[in-house]
Amino acid sequence: MSDPEVRSALRVAVHRIAIVAGVFCAVLAGLLWHNGIQLHRADESFRLVDSEKLVGLKQQLAADPGDADLKDRIRTLDQDLRLEYFRRQSFATRGGFTLLGGGLAFIVALHLARHLRGPRVPVFSAKPEDRMRSAQVAAKAVGGTLIVLTGLTAAMVGGRTRQWQAAPAVGGDLPEPAPTVNEAWWPEPEEWAAQWPCFRGPGGMGVATVDKLPAGWNGETGEGILWKTAIPLPGENSPVVWEDRIYLSGATEDERAIYGIDATTGRILWSAPVSTPQGSRFDPPAVMEETGFAAPTAVTDGRRVIAIFANGEIVGVGTDGSPLWARHLGEADNLYGHANSLAMWRDLVIVVYDRGGAEDGLSRILALDAATGETRWSTDRPVPASWVSPMVIEHEGQPQILTAANPWIIAYDPADGSELWKVKAMSGDVAPSPAYHDGVAYFTNTGACLIAVKVDGRGDVTDSHVLWKRDEDDYPDICSLLCDGPRVYTVVYGRLFAYDAQSGDQVWEHDLEDDFQASPVLVNGRLWLLTMEGETIIGDVDAEGFHEVARHPLGEEIGATPAFGPGRIYLRGREHLYAIGGDEG
């Protein structure tokens, strides 16, 4: 060993061993890596090496079960694949051990080579006094690293939303509810307009624009029906739609519920039962069968759904059905059953809760906080029970709530509930909801009149702001008014009337010989009328008259006004909710 020449020769040998071992290890590692890729594929999926071929052959065989040749090919390929798979598996195992041995040889040879070369010459690069200097540099580096680290972490952490809380955390499931819930929040006007948030759609106008209308449908054959879902509890209310959810309510004498339905599948995602201690103290109200216990349509703003029932219970739930709040507005006293649908202005739920006679002093209009159910304002109404749904309009920057009852038509300021103007014109049990177009509101009731009022007045405007009023014809008792700009339409006992919106002159009338309860709607400029038998009559309207275009039967009675979503029509029959649409996509 001491002989330098032997030592040097040995060193060369060991060096070569190290090189060979190193190359061997590198090659083997590469092979193992490749083998692993073959076993697991680059996409990390787990499969036999050429499985698509096998699966394809099997499918071929399913189509032609008698092909003996194909069977043979499958069997051969199958065996090959299995053998290949397990061969590769065992190669991985054995290769691992070999690599380990090779690595060991490599390292040992390297160590030996170093040992044979002898100890290294110490290089004294640092001087003792360097230590303080290097310490200072290192300290700066450590400090700088810490600062950079803090900044990076803060930036990274700060930019992240807690996405697991994106779930509608309403209902106080979380100790720290999403902060937006209790803050004043409401959708932008264009968001309202894009949804179907309340009775008769955005603004309660009864006007819908639907892209890709289906050519037609037939509830009996299932043609054009995307899905059909049985609604457990009955109700005359219309569905409301927000994005991919549909909400509606149902009730019987002793059961009430709100339903959340998946617009894609029609599955009832949740059903929120409604019951308040106060509500259960009273006997169920007496209602007419046609009205039922869940006549008023609910409202939604995409975060909460609020529904009112005939017994005076009003509840707010999250879009996942979790309870937000529940209230009882006092025992109902209503000849037919409470039927005024809800409206919404900003984050306020507008409730017209008219009860009893005018002298009872029970009627009022309230605005409830949609998030908490608290009363923001409440204004007494000098009227008896009514069935008109409130409508929120805006005229020259002033939002107004339009209501009608016997005898007063009253507009309120939704901000504080103060009366803006009123007209004394109505009589009887007022039920049809108003229409509004360009500064003029239209009201009607059977046995009373059809009246157009300019909405820019203040105070009692009976003598000053009535544009026109007529009382010579029959007027609707349930179906709401509809105004398309030039004309106002009424549906009265199977007849359709058109009046000039500016003058009030009757333009034409059209006999349909059907019974109607649902309110007419204007869809893409065409008038839709839904008969009680479930037929949807679609027609063009112009100055000349009504030109029927199509009739689509549903096969189930309809009492509720339809709702619309993107490319979809939702019809609520007596028992089912139908989604109608064209081709998916």
Give, as ranges, the residues between 146 and 205 that touch other proteins (CB under 8 A): 146, 149-150, 152-154, 156-169, 173-176
Residues 86-115 that bind other proteins (CB under 8 A): 86, 89, 92-93, 96-97, 100, 107, 110-111, 114
Q: Answer yes or no whether residue 16 interacts with other proteins by CB under 8 A.
A: no
Angle, vertex CA 508, rays to CA 502 and CA 513, nearest 5: 130
Among 319, 418, 326, 408, which residue's Cα sits nearest to residue 368?
A: 326
Q: Let me know: does 531 contact 537? Beta carbons within 8 Å.
A: yes
Q: Answer yes or no whether residue 7 interacts with other proteins by CB under 8 A.
A: no
Q: Let me know: does 346 contact 399? Beta carbons within 8 Å.
A: no
Q: Let me know: does 401 contact 392? Beta carbons within 8 Å.
A: yes
From 4, 12, 33, 543, residue interacting with other proteins (rule: CB under 8 A): 33
Give dist(CA 254, CA 262) in Å, integer: 26
**Closest CB 74 distance from other proteins, rounded Å:** 4
**Closest CB 169 distance from other proteins, rounded Å:** 7
Q: Answer yes or no whether residue 36 interacts with other proteins by CB under 8 A.
A: yes
CA 566, distance to chain mean position in Å, is 12
**Closest CB 144 distance from other proteins, rounded Å:** 8
**Segment contacting other proteins by CB under 8 A, of 43-51, 326-334, 426-434, 472-480:** 43-51
The pattern of x and - marking residues 529 through 568 that bind other proteins according to CB under 8 A reads --------------------------x-------------
**Segment contacting other proteins by CB under 8 A, of 136-144, 205-213, 276-284, 539-547:** 136-144
Residue with tokens 């009731």: 445
Question: Nearer Cβ to other proteins, position 91 or 508?
Answer: 91
**Closest CB 66 distance from other proteins, rounded Å:** 9
**Closest CB 341 distance from other proteins, rounded Å:** 27
- CA distances in angstroms from 442 to 52, 83, 418, 451, listed in the order given: 69, 83, 21, 6
Contacts of residue 131, Cβ cutoff 8 Å, sequence gap at least 6: none
Give dist(CA 296, CA 514) in Å, integer: 24
Residues 65-84 that bind other proteins (CB under 8 A): 65, 70-71, 74-75, 78-79, 81-82
Q: Answer yes or no whether residue 51 interacts with other proteins by CB under 8 A.
A: yes
Among 433, 385, 392, which residue's Cα sits nearest to residue 411?
A: 392
Contacts of residue 246, Cβ cutoff 8 Å, sequence gap at least 6: 239, 240, 260, 261, 262, 263, 563, 565, 570, 577
Number of residues that bind other proteins (CB under 8 A): 104
**Closest CB 349 distance from other proteins, rounded Å:** 23
Q: Answer yes or no whether residue 119 interacts with other proteins by CB under 8 A.
A: yes
From 3, 44, 183, 283, residue interacting with other proteins (rule: CB under 8 A): 44
Residue with tokens 């739930």: 317
